[in-house]
Amino acid sequence: MKVDEIHRVMALLREEYASWRTPAVTIVAECERSPFKVLVSCIISLRTKDEVTAAASARMFARADSAERMLKLAEDEIAALIYPAGFYRTKAGQIHGIAHRLVTEFGGNVPDEMEDLLRFRGVGRKTANLVLTLGFGKPGICVDTHVHRICNRLGYVSTRSPEQTEMALRAQLPGEYWIAINDLLVAFGQNHCHPISPRCTTCRIAEFCSRVGVKTSR
Ligand code: SF4
């Protein structure tokens, strides 16, 4: 894929987006732009299916929709609310610990700087970027496994890790797509360009794709 073809690719993906399931964390952000909710639902979503994340987030926020309220819950209660999310006990400890630091160090508010977010236990660049983009509307590029895989398949980047992909995208992706690319490629990856056997024969962006590393497809 040539670098300047990104505009056409993003336009085609936007046309297709309406027919795909919306990623769970995006649904949380669309309902209400709450950095706290984006942060917590992103932690719940790691290694967890989207439908489980959506249901667990809804149960969690019905009981505690702020750091102050979350801090009043015991870790066991948080674990029970987010079960069966993957690693729910570990995540319950992380969520409780984050709530404690938010209340004691940040006045109950989620900070809007990458450096501050990365200092929370359980928060990596993917989560921090999602909080900045979906929670605060600030520039950032959230690179998860779908964004990393698809950008490399397209031949738009040539990288070995999501972090390298984020840096490559920061260098060449036009700013107008920084926030949108995660949502579009996560939905595309979940619904069409699957990790194993992507649906290349019916792909709207196939003419732009170098199919790097694709061994089997439909
Ligand atoms: Fe993914 Fe295949 Fe489409 Fe390339 S052509 S983006 S590998 S589905």
Sign of CA dihedral 218, 52, 125, 13: positive
Q: In the block, which residue shows the tokens 């209340």?
A: 103
Over residues 56-62, the mean pLDDT reads 96
Q: How confident is the model at residue 28 (pLDDT cuts 50, 70, 90)?
A: low
Over residues 24-51, the mean pLDDT reads 83
pLDDT, one tens digit per residue, over 151-161 is 999 999 999 99
- Give the integer Cα–Cα distance in Å for 68 and 64: 8
Taking CA atoms only, the protein residue closest to ligand 1 atom 2 is 200
CA distances from 146 to 77, 182, 198 (A): 32, 8, 12
> Of all residues in the chain, what percent carry a pLDDT higher than 90?
84
- Give the integer Cα–Cα distance in Å for 27 and 68: 23
**pLDDT at residue 29, as a whole number:** 62
CATH 1.10.340.30, domain 24-135, yes or no = yes
Q: How confident is the model at residue 11 (pLDDT cuts 50, 70, 90)?
A: very high
**pLDDT at residue 33, as a whole number:** 75
What are the sequence ranges of the domains in the chain? 3-20+141-208, 24-135
Closest atom of ligand 1 to 199 CA is 8
Instruction: Pull the structure tokens for residue 95.
Output: 């969520």
Q: Which fold has domain 3-20+141-208?
A: Endonuclease Iii, domain 2 (1.10.1670)
Residue 30 dihedral angles phi and psi, to the nearest 5°: -70, -35
Over residues 31-57, the mean pLDDT reads 90
Query: If you measure from the C-alpha of residue 62 to the centroid of ligand 1, how many angstroms do you get, rounded to a whole number?
Result: 39
CB-based pocket (< 6 A), ligand 1: 153-154, 192-193, 198-200, 203, 205-206, 209, 211, 214, 217
- Asked whether residue 30 carries a pLDDT value surpassing 80, the answer given is no
Query: If you measure from the C-alpha of residue 139 to the centroid of ligand 1, how many angstroms do you get, rounded to a whole number?
Result: 27
Residue 48 dihedral angles phi and psi, to the nearest 5°: -140, 140
- Asked whether residue 31 carries a pLDDT value surpassing 70, the answer given is no
pLDDT, one tens digit per residue, over 70-87 is 999 999 999 999 999 999
Mutate which of 185, 200, 212, 215 to test ligand 1's pocket (most atoms within 8 Å of Cβ)? Answer: 200
Contact indicator for 4, 213 with CB cutoff of 8 Å: no
Greatest mean pLDDT among 3-7, 19-23, 95-99 lies in 95-99
Over residues 18-37, the mean pLDDT reads 76
> Of all residues in the chain, what percent carry a pLDDT higher than 70?
96
pLDDT mean across residues, the chain: 93
pLDDT, one tens digit per residue, over 182-192 is 989 999 999 99
Which one, of 39, 198, 8, lies nearest residue 112 by Cα? 39
Q: How confident is the model at residue 32 (pLDDT cuts 50, 70, 90)?
A: low
- Asked whether residue 54 carries a pLDDT value surpassing 60, the answer given is yes
